[in-house]
Amino acid sequence: MRLVLVILSIFLLYLQVNAQEFQEFNSEDLLKIQKLSNQNRTEHSENQLAGSSPDSQFIPSVIIRSDGTEINDIALRYNVITNTMQFKRNGTILDIYETNKIKRIIMGDKVFVYAPYNEARRIRLSYFQLLNEGKYQLLKMYKVVSDGTTEKQKANDYIRYENSTPAYYLRYGDGMANRIDSQKKLIKILQPVPQEVIDYILKYNIKPTDEKELIDLMEYMNNK
């Protein structure tokens, strides 16, 4: 009997502690945060990227949640290397954690959404820049690659990155984002599509890596 009481006491204590942790965990609401596991990455992230990547500066942004409410007056940056939206708190760079509650992020003149896509037969999630929205969303995935050099900071090595050719995707509604890797794939993603749209794609030789041509195509379709 005494053993049972001891086990029951331990169980009740466990529930109490976890209830407190759960309450604290939810106190940040959408902006649940995680310190970056590698502090060196935080220190180096300002200088890691070469070129004009969109994730080098913190700029005033608006977070629109899935329930339609907004978080205003927050400075964010998109870190392409870690594929995270980041903000600063007390001088520390932190990641936005609950991405499933984000509908979109307006960052200056850019809009980002968080969407599923398929890669190597696996469903993955990523931030995409929203380029055009109608029946389909035209999405842009930023990419970076190592430029083959390393630099030293505070006696630690870190890899420098530079921009790579972005990839473009089409997304119907809230579904899967499908990569446009060829003209044939573009037509396939759009099916069923009127013949005049196919004729437009063939006539203007729409290329899967030409952002302006893809935007023009989406605007043509939106006006049909």
pLDDT of residue 100: 85
Q: What pLDDT shows up at residue 139?
A: 97
Compute the distance between CA of residue 111 and CA of residue 55 in angstroms, rounded to an integer.
13
Q: Indicate yes or no: pTM above 0.85.
A: no
pLDDT in tens, 102-116: 999 999 899 999 999
Burial track 199-219 (b if 16+ CB lie within 10 A, e otherwise): ebbeeeebbbeeeeebeebbe
What is the pLDDT confidence band of residue 121, given thresholds at 50, 70 and 90?
confident
pLDDT (0 to 100) of residue 163:
60
Q: What is the pLDDT of residue 223?
A: 87
Query: Where are the domains positioned within the chain?
Result: 28-175, 180-224
pLDDT digits (tens, 9 = 90+) for 9-54: 433 333 333 333 223 333 344 444 443 433 334 444 555 554 434 5
Least confident range from 32-41, 81-90, 91-100: namely 32-41
Using one digit for the tens of pLDDT, what is the confidence trace for 140-199?
999 876 655 555 554 444 455 566 689 999 999 889 999 999 999 999 999 998 999 999
Give the closest residue to 110 by CA, choosing from 57, 45, 153: 57
Most confident of 9-23, 81-95, 148-162, 205-219: 205-219
Which two structure tokens, joined as six digits, stand for 173? 């509604």
